[in-house]
Chains A and B, each alone.
Chain A
Amino acid sequence: MDMNEIKEIFFQECEEQLAELESGLLKLNDGDRDPETVNAVFRAVHSIKGGAGAFGLDDLVSFAHVFETTLDCVRSNRLDPGPEVLKVMLKSADVLADLTNAARDGGSVDEARSRQLIKELEALANGEVPQASAAPAEPVAKPVAAAAPPPVNDEGFQPVAFSFDDFDAAEEPPLMEMPTYEIVFKPKSDLYAKGNEATLLLRDLSRLGEMSIHCDMGALPTLDRLSPESAYFFWKISLKTDKGEDAIRTVFEFAEWDCDLEISLIEDEVAQPGEELPMQPVPFDLSILDDEPAISVGVVEEEEQLASRQQDRDAAVAAAATASNVLQMAQSATRAPAEKAAPAASAAAQSAAAQQAAASAATPTIRVDLDRVDRLINLVGELVINQAMLSQSVVENDTNGTSSINMGLEELQQLTREIQDSVMAIRAQPVKPVFQRMSRIVREIADMTGKSVRLITEGENTEVDKTVIDKLAEPLTHMIRNAVDHGLETPEKRLAAGKSAEGTVRLTAKHRSGRIVIELADDGAGINREKVRQKAIDNDLIAADANLSDEEIDNLIFHAGFSTADKISDISGRGVGMDVVKRSIQALGGRINISSKPGHGSVFTMSLPLTLAVLDGMVVTVANQTLVVPLTAIVETLQPEASAIHSFGANQRLISIRNSFCPLVDVGRILNFRAIQANPVEGVALLVESEGGGQRALMVDAIQGQRQVVIKSLEANYTHVPGIAAATILGDGRVALILDVDAIVAASRGQSLKPEMSLAAAG
């Protein structure tokens, strides 16, 4: 593993942390005050900062640092995460995501925005909670946890590594006259309890220069009064070094709090430390440290002896041992009480383990390159086609009496289907990431429009093919923008209409009959039908006297260039309208529908296939061509009776079904497969439901059967064909086209509406 790989891991982790961050903040926004939620949010930012630091991503580090500081205030209950505070935090999460993306892919971020948020975050950390609608906080006078951490005075908090370069400038005597320091080091008991070793400190000290050590054992009590956990020795060290006092302090960095340390520079080199303090010099053999395993074995033996014949031992023996011996003895002596403590510790560990079991009910996962999965899916697709071709040729070659072959084929078909389903499931992912992105969109639009919006998401764990998810983000973004910009009213208007000032946008996902249904509902004003109708007339979309149902009027908004906003706003009026949304949903094999209730809001319903790779279809014949009609579009099939067919106008025909009239659509004509209309009585009518257009009866010549087909792109080597959604390969190895029912229906309405795609113009 090299640094680039670790960096890749870091960015993956960032994505997870950012998702965690946002969902945590949203939970807080919903009033969740679970400390663990706050902790998770804090950790997410903290982790990003930690990793970013390792890769020198300074912008990311400094923003994360300020963010983290403010979150720490929330964590320690110094700052209440009220709505205004969370607003700032959610925006900060967005900026953090931008910074992360910029760090990964290059590119720039809105620096003014991130600076502004740093100010706001600092203000929050400083106890300045913004009022609703208050102007952004002014920069605070007192720098709080500034982006660049201020140098801390106490050396105790300097980084571990120590650079000798820092001391170059020190006014010190030249090398030949090395200064001598006198160091008095009195460890406290805590020093050992925290895993520090006086001997190791002395070893490190000795590396700085020429050193002589005196050990004072004067405080050592008699054995009966000796507390094994206490520190009784102190050292007086004379060290001749040119490394400076800071280097000495660095050695004691970890120990500083648990010892008394005096360091002084001896001006007069002649002065001998031993003369000043009446201490008993103890030969201190540092070489024992170089042979640590051997000595520790010896110590253990000694310790056991000590334990058994303690009273017989002379105190001097103990004193001769190094400080670490004292600790070893201490451990030995306190073994009994420590063992009492052990069950408690293990109980704690057990309950922690139980927690873990509960927390990580998630099954183990592996990360797989998407390419590998796609390769597998392609191969399975080939397998399905091959299996179908094999079955067909067996049937064609008449295998009467060889039922074992047929049975084998059936099993093969079953297996193939199962493999296919399993492989497709690999690509299935929850829609959560896309939904999460939407909350950011809502925040931004709400900000820009001055509206107050609450986004509620439901069913975010609903799974669908990754490709669908990836392609869903764009149309969904657009619809959300529309919902907030056009759907919801301003707070004033809402209040005037007796609604709460805050609008609600509800985004839900669920599975329904083999498809995923995504609903986007707002509680805004609903579609202004009069306005839409007028606009459609103005734009020549409908005749001035056209008689349209409410549903048909609502669905006019899906027509190209249609925008009802009085002024083209910066948000949703960029020349792309709902027609683009509709087309991208259709490109995914989906349908989109709107239902609206004046004064109560609108609901957009999208129904999408769970996978883009396979489709259940009805194989039909039209003008000697084999076509596939997606099964999901078909309501029922019927054999038209001559009496049920009624001509209408110049070349329209209607079919009466249970006392209602439904327009007949000749698929062969629409696709230009034949010049004259077929006789409906000789064919089959497929009653289809198309969004917005109500029901239509598609005329085909014959039905061959139902089949699951593997979807093949036409665009890969050719181009989009109006009226055709995709292609597939049938059992005979030939390509069959999959009908785009909605486009066919739309084209059939060419008389009253301009077709969205110039079907007639093509070819």
Chain B
Amino acid sequence: MTYAAKNLTTDGRELIAFRVGAQEFCVNIMSVREIRGWTPATSMPHAPSYVLGVINLRGAVLPIVDLSARLGMTPAEPTVRHVIIVAQVKSQVVGLLVDAVSDILTITDDKIQPTPDVVSSEFEKSFARGVLAIEGRMICLIELEAIFPQEEREAA
């Protein structure tokens, strides 16, 4: 199937799946600009704990977010094996530190199941757009804009 043809299927979309700790997540590939290796970040004073700092992305200053910490899991200890997903969130570009990129998925919307009613926090409910069952794995589709609401960013 050609790329153009894929786009023609009404609900078809491509997702990038990645690993954070033991869990798998995915985001819409359209919001991903590039994927690059970890480079040490410059610490930011008074930054939220999940902001690891900023790096130089071809002349632009790019904040790096530890997705694990942001999602309320154990903060990462970045190594050269870690990966940064450079993603566009609204008008800004951020780098998401994840353990590894695992897959590129092409799915239709009907494959996305509603988030099970087990999550308790409002925050988790807000970013989890649904879950996918792929070959026995469970992959959580996250909404980047919910992870970085503009107000919270500005107040940070």
Contact = CB atoms under 8 A, between A and B. Distances in A.
A714 B58 CA distance: 14
Contact of A727 (B54, B92, B94): B54
A336 interface: no
Given A717-B61, A719-B154, A735-B61, A673 B40 contact: no
Nearest to B57: A717
Interface string B76-109: 0000000000000000111000000000000000
B45 A712 contact: no
B34 to A, nearest CB: 14
Nearest to B92: A717
Nearest to A668: B45
B44 A712 contact: no
Contacts of B61: 712-714, 716-718, 727, 729, 735
Say what secondary structure dominates the interface of chain A.
loop
B156 to A, nearest CB: 6
Given A717-B63, A717-B93, A625 B54 contact: no
A759 interface: yes
Interface residues of A, number: 31
A414 interface: no
A721 B47 contact: yes
A381 interface: yes
B137 interface: no
Contacts of A759: 46
Nearest to A732: B56
A211 interface: no
Nearest to A728: B61
B126 interface: no
Contacts of B59: 378, 381-382, 385, 712, 729
Interface string B123-156: 0000000000000000000000000000001101
Contacts of B40: 734
Contacts of A763: 45-48
A86 interface: no
A672 B42 contact: no
Interface in A698-729: 712-714, 716-724, 727, 729
A671 interface: yes
Interface in B9-41: 40-41
A721 B55 CA distance: 15
A734 B56 contact: yes
A727 B153 CA distance: 18
A736 interface: yes
Q: Which of A381, A714, A724, A735 counts the most chain B CB atoms within 10 A?
A: A735
Nearest to A724: B45
Interface residues of B, number: 26
B62 interface: yes
B45 A673 contact: yes
B56 A721 contact: no
A52 interface: no
Contact of B92 (A716, A724, A737): A716
A735 B47 contact: no
B7 interface: no
A714 B56 CA distance: 11
A718 B89 CA distance: 11
Interface in A546-602: none
Nearest to B45: A671
B43 interface: yes
Contacts of A720: 154
A718 B56 contact: no
Contacts of B45: 671-673, 721-724, 737, 763
Contacts of A714: 54, 61
Given A718-B63, A718-B92, A735 B56 contact: yes
B145 to A, nearest CB: 15
B118 interface: no
B5 interface: no
Nearest to A722: B46
A735 B46 CA distance: 17
Contacts of B51: 718
B86 to A, nearest CB: 10
The interface centre, meaning the residue of B45, B61, B62, B63 with most chain A CB atoms within 10 A of its CB, is B45
Contacts of A712: 59-61
A378 B43 CA distance: 25
Nearest to B55: A735
B48 to A, nearest CB: 7
A722 B154 CA distance: 11
Nearest to A386: B59
Contact of B44 (A713, A721, A729, A734): A721
A762 interface: yes
Nearest to B152: A719
A733 interface: yes
Nearest to A382: B59
A719 B153 contact: yes
B84 to A, nearest CB: 13
22 contacts: A382-B58, A671-B46, A672-B45, A672-B46, A673-B43, A673-B45, A712-B61, A714-B54, A716-B61, A717-B63, A717-B93, A717-B94, A718-B92, A719-B156, A721-B44, A721-B45, A722-B46, A727-B54, A729-B59, A734-B42, A737-B45, A762-B46
Interface of A: 378, 381-382, 385, 625-626, 671-673, 712-714, 716-724, 727, 729, 733-737, 759, 762-763
Given A718-B54, A729-B59, A734-B56, 11 more contacts: A382-B58, A672-B45, A673-B45, A718-B153, A719-B153, A724-B44, A729-B56, A733-B56, A735-B54, A736-B42, A759-B46
Those 6 A-B pairs whose CB atoms lie nearest each other, nearest first:
A763-B46, A671-B45, A762-B46, A735-B42, A718-B63, A727-B61
